[in-house]
Amino acid sequence: MTGQTIPIISKPTNWEYYGIYKRFQNVELETMNIAAENANAFEVIKEYASNVVENLNQGLGLIIKGPVGTGKTTAAIAIMKEAVKYKKSPYFISMISLLDKLMSFRDQEERYEFEQRIQNCPLLVLDDLGGEYIGKNKDDSWMLKRIMSIIAERHQRSKSIIITTNLPIKELAERYDQRAIDRIRSTNQIITLLGESLRKEEWRKS
């Protein structure tokens, strides 16, 4: 560990302000259900979280990939909550919600404020990259261009991104843009979570 300071947030937090809704508001790194095959990957996640201030200052992030239900979103939110403890202001949004918001704004001031937030917040979590519909014609897709613009702008500003995805890196490059994916890979460590969906275990217990 480096010389990360002591957390300074201890009072109750409005998690919805950061895009974290009820299902994930009790998530903590220490209480996550980790499959045995993901023990090493989880150590990398914990290391990133334990040095979150330094990582954000350097614009470093993660790509957390793997099958549905392996804990990718949970891990990303747990890291966000560590950042909040140090008075950082991260923002979580699923790709479907991101594009829905960008397409539905009627008030230009609200659109501007939202776009400023996703461009400038110290940590942006883009959840389920590849799960959104970008249209049949990749070259003409407005949505695709906006996604690439967000990634490029944050890269230029040295702003951290954590991406979760069900897709292999090769498929991300084919779906989006090789240059954009290369930018992400230059600052984001790739973590692969394996195994069956943890949600199945929850269903069996219920």
Q: Please, where are the H alpha helices in 32-90?
A: 39-50, 52-57, 72-85
User: Which structural domain, as residue segments, surrounds residue 173?
Assistant: 52-205
What stretches of the chain adopt beta strand conformation (E)? Answer: 61-65, 91-94, 123-127, 160-165, 188-192
- Report if residue 198 sits inside a domain: yes
pLDDT tens string 152-179: 999 999 999 999 999 999 999 988 888 8
CATH number of the structural domain spanning residue 192: 3.40.50.300
Report which of 176, 179, 200, 186 is spatially closest to residue 61, judged by C-alpha positions. Answer: 186
Two structure tokens written together for 204: 């069996």
Report which of 191, 128, 182 is spatially closest to residue 155, judged by C-alpha positions. Answer: 182
- Report if residue 42 sits inside a domain: no
- Report if residue 56 sits inside a domain: yes
The answer to whether 83 touches 50, Cβ cutoff 8 Å, is no
- Measured in whole angstroms, the distance separating CA 21 from the mean position of its chain's CA atoms is 14
- What pLDDT is recorded for position 157? 95
Round to whole Å and give the CA distance between 159 and 76: 16
- Report if residue 148 sits inside a domain: yes
Q: Model pTM? A: 0.87
Report which of 53, 57, 17 is spatially closest to residue 157, judged by C-alpha positions. Answer: 57
- Report if residue 168 sits inside a domain: yes
Mean pLDDT by 10 residues, the chain (206 residues): 55 86 91 90 97 98 95 96 96 95 89 94 97 68 86 95 96 88 94 77 45
How many domains is the chain built from?
Answer: 1
- What pLDDT is recorded for position 6? 59
- Report if residue 8 sits inside a domain: no
- What pLDDT is recorded for position 205? 46
- Report if residue 31 sits inside a domain: no
- Report if residue 189 sits inside a domain: yes
Can you tell me which residue has the tokens 């470093």? 60
Round to whole Å and give the CA distance between 77 and 195: 20
